Structure 1
Amino acid sequence: MALIWTVEDDESIAALMVNIIKKTGHTYEHFWDGIELEKRLKKEGLPDLMLLDIMLRSTNGFDILKQWKQEAYTRHVPIIIISAKSAEYDKVKGLNLGAEDYITKPFGLREFRARIDAALRRVTPEALQIDLGAMKLLPDERKIFVDNEEIQLTQQEFELILYLARRAGHVVTRKELLKEVWGYGAETNSTRTLDYHVRSIRKKLDDDAQNPRFIETVHGSGYKLIKNG
């Protein structure tokens, strides 16, 4: 059973896709636009496959596709474009941006199901990792490797580095880390726990805070995991 996310603003098409997904025994989450999808991304977990419309009301689907394929956290997720745009130019653009497949509307039910099944078969366990160059994380196995050597972290340390890795290249504030990794409320001002764990991780990664290879301190804000460390 796979989890499939659908992003479609046409109610009839959305209902059709969801109905097919349920009949195949898979589970789903539906989003009407890119704004809803962006909000969902802030929570834990990703789909095994995403079906993405291009002509959304609030967002261009090509922009969503491009962003997902650029981010370390989401790039492994296969994305099938579902669009009424049938020109060769649009198909080539979608595939060049990293789409797994391109289905034009209207589509046949059997073809639609077959393309979903084919995309899911192509997903391999090796793809379910976060690859940041010298650092690789396997979220499902709770493992982290640096220069192909496994590093032993505590559960809380792994949660912290995983949260940063999923936002690699972006500054994550201390307040956000305390809330999302530890569950502390907005009223919490203490950062001693966070800073202690960062120091511990740096020591295990042999990472110099003054000349960071992996975790960069952004003074007055928070931390950033460096891509391709």
Structure 2
Amino acid sequence: MSVNIFIVDDEADVREMVSFTLKRQGFNVVSAADSRTALKKLGEILPDLILLDWMLPDISGVDLARQLKADERYEDIPIIMLTARGEEDDKIRGLDAGADDYITKPFSPRELGARINAVLRRASPSHGKDVININGLSLDLKGHRVHAGNTEVNLGPTEFKLLQFLMGHPDRVFSRTQLLDRIWGSNVYIEERTVDVHIRRLRKALEPVAYDRMIQTIRGAGYRLTAEE
């Protein structure tokens, strides 16, 4: 899965500079100039990380961060605040609103890239890896293959993406709504039970190699992949 970065900043030159920098580093980039446009675009594409300016012309970046973190669909998306404010009190306000990191303008392209990768690694330990391995279950992103020990596990494309996402966030519980948004996209209108169907297919494929129990149902909450033996 390629990494999608969403920039929300009302300064066109900042958006262009950051977009150019991140695209050169291999990220996909979407941008918005204000909070209302950002919220509309979030209904169309779910990013892996949001770069959020503090000073926006409508809803402030801090208030938008707080709003996103209160919404089940977006609460797990990491946020880096971009701002000219450098005082400690302002940084604390941004972090208290749910931001995962804080970078003060002006910043270098190298620093921005390093901060983004650091936050993504904290959010998903598999970020930047070609192969994810948990207790002998191995998922090869480039080869698009899954192995349990020396046995290859045949998965459909949706089951592969579902397993990739869950293995990238081990021991975290995701609701059906969150999985729909992250795997199928927030602009696709399908029923929540579709998730259950694909979870069953994934478990059935993993059952012959005794890895189906890694996919756990958390009653009233959703699903998780456990990293425990």
TM-score range for the pair, normalised by the shorter chain length: 0.5 to 0.7
For structure 2, the residue ranges without an aligned partner over 5 or more in a row are 125-167, 185-189, 197-219, 222-229
Corresponding residue of 1:158: 193
Is structure 2 residue 138 aligned with structure 1 residue 138?
A: no
Using a 3 Å threshold, how does the CA distance of structure 1 residues 9 and 73 change in structure 2: closer, same or farther?
same
Corresponding residue of 1:94: 94
Corresponding residue of 2:111: 111
Partner SS, residue 85 of structure 2:
coil
Partner SS, residue 93 of structure 2:
helix
- The CA RMSD measured in Å over matched residues stands at 3.1
TM-superposed deviation, 1:123: 2.1
Corresponding residue of 2:127: none
Using a 3 Å threshold, how does the CA distance of structure 1 residues 81 and 46 change in structure 2: closer, same or farther?
same
TM-superposed deviation, 1:5: 0.3
Q: State the AA in 2 paired with 1:64.
A: L
Partner SS, residue 110 of structure 1:
helix
Corresponding residue of 2:54: 54
Q: Deviation per CA, 1:71-113, whole angstroms, max 9, x where unpaired?
A: 1110000000000111111101111222111000111221111
- Which protein has the larger Cα radius of gyration, Structure 1 or Structure 2? 1
TM-superposed deviation, 1:159: 5.5
TM-score (norm 1): 0.57
Corresponding residue of 1:16: 17
Partner SS, residue 86 of structure 1:
coil
TM-superposed deviation, 1:41: 2.7
For structure 1, the residue ranges without an aligned partner over 5 or more in a row are 143-154, 162-212, 215-229
Using a 3 Å threshold, how does the CA distance of structure 1 residues 7 and 128 change in structure 2: closer, same or farther?
farther
Corresponding residue of 1:207: none
Distance in 1 separating the partners of 2:7 and 2:105 = 15
Using a 3 Å threshold, how does the CA distance of structure 1 residues 116 and 138 change in structure 2: closer, same or farther?
same
Partner SS, residue 118 of structure 2:
helix
Distance in 1 separating the partners of 2:192 and 2:108 = 48
Partner SS, residue 94 of structure 1:
helix
Distance in 1 separating the partners of 2:64 and 2:10 = 14
TM-score (norm 2): 0.57
Distance in 1 separating the partners of 2:83 and 2:113 = 16
Partner SS, residue 55 of structure 1:
coil
8 Å contact 2:72–2:178 — kept in the other structure? no
Corresponding residue of 1:25: 26
Between the two proteins, the alignment pairs up a number of residues equal to: 150
Q: State the AA in 2 paired with 1:38.
A: L
Partner SS, residue 123 of structure 2:
coil
TM-superposed deviation, 1:136: 8.3
Distance in 2 separating the partners of 1:136 and 1:14 = 30
Distance in 2 separating the partners of 1:52 and 1:128 = 28
TM-superposed deviation, 1:19: 0.9
